[in-house]
Amino acid sequence: MMAEDTVAGWITFLSQERRASAATVAAYQHDLSRALAFLTEHLGGPPDLAAMGRLSVADLRAWLAHESTAPGKARSNSTPDARTRTRARRLSALRAFYRYLNQRHGIENTAASLLQMPRTKRRLPRPLDADTARAAPSEIAELGHTPMARARDVALFTLLYGAGLRIAEALALDIGDLARHGTGILRIRGKGGRERLVPLLPAVSDALRDWCTRHPNPQPDAPLFPGVRGGRLQPAIAQRAMREWRALSGLGGHVTPHALRHSFATHLMENGADLRSIQELLGHVSLSTTQTYTLADEKRLLKVWSDAHPRAHGARDANASPGAGTGEHGT
């Protein structure tokens, strides 16, 4: 059997059994297609499963090296960190494919696992401030082109900030999901098919209830957030609405629907919520993922200290004014 013939089964495995996101599946499929195209040229013909089992670390390094030097506008314009992340994703895709070949076709090859995963910088969450996050739903909705879109967007963006959902999780909801566990609770299916219960604040429940009274097709199996043609709203539409709002508001490119999830977690932590509770609310598998919000808050506190505390400017003032600060004591 040729390696190419197993790709469709691998994609089904990723999406249905591993519950990988559509974006991850698409990226992995793209990376594997490039890998197989390179190996076809590298080996002098399309690789079969036996050839995949014989590939060495050197063969796989040759592919990664080829990708790092391949011409392309997107690659040349990307930052070093972005290129490192792309390399890490390609290696992850190859490792996932080899795990599948081992489980389903008995092909065992440790070459991919022996390659060192590139070390990427941890990206700290960039939340909105509380006032901006609270105002976002109504201000975004004002830009809607129809009364239906405006009412829908108030509910959608209130839910994202008020419950910390990913945009894909919110758009996957049906109307019936609101009543399935009583008022004030949602069961969310997140990454990897993992489920969690999310309590709803009264303001969020009120926004959803108001939207349901205006919903064009209030049937239990209808999408909670439909597009103009009645189908499920696409993430790109919600992202575009927020992009238009941030441009008019003079906000940075980090202000996305996912930034509302960051804001939910950060504002909870700032007001005393413990990390374990935030982990459960966000649906993180690992506490280390949730601890990123601690690092972001430390960075924010250091900036507040640097901007506001008189002693934070001591060294700079001393450099600017000879003799300044002499005779000072204390810590």
Active site positions, annotated: 166, 191, 258, 261, 284, 293
Q: Minimal CA–CA distance to 249: which of 125, 123, 124, 131?
A: 131
What interhelical angle do 257-270 and 147-163 show, nearest 10? Answer: 40
What DSSP line would sit under 191-250, residue for residue?
GGG-EEEEE--HHHHHHHHHHHHH-SS--TTSBSSB-TTSSBPPHHHHHHHHHHHHHHHT
Residue 181 is encoded by which pair of tokens? 């566990």
Are the CB atoms for 124 and 100 separated by under 8 Å?
no
Instruction: Give ∠ CA 202-208-210 in degrees, rounded to 5.
Output: 100
The CA distance from 196 to 190, in Å, is 8
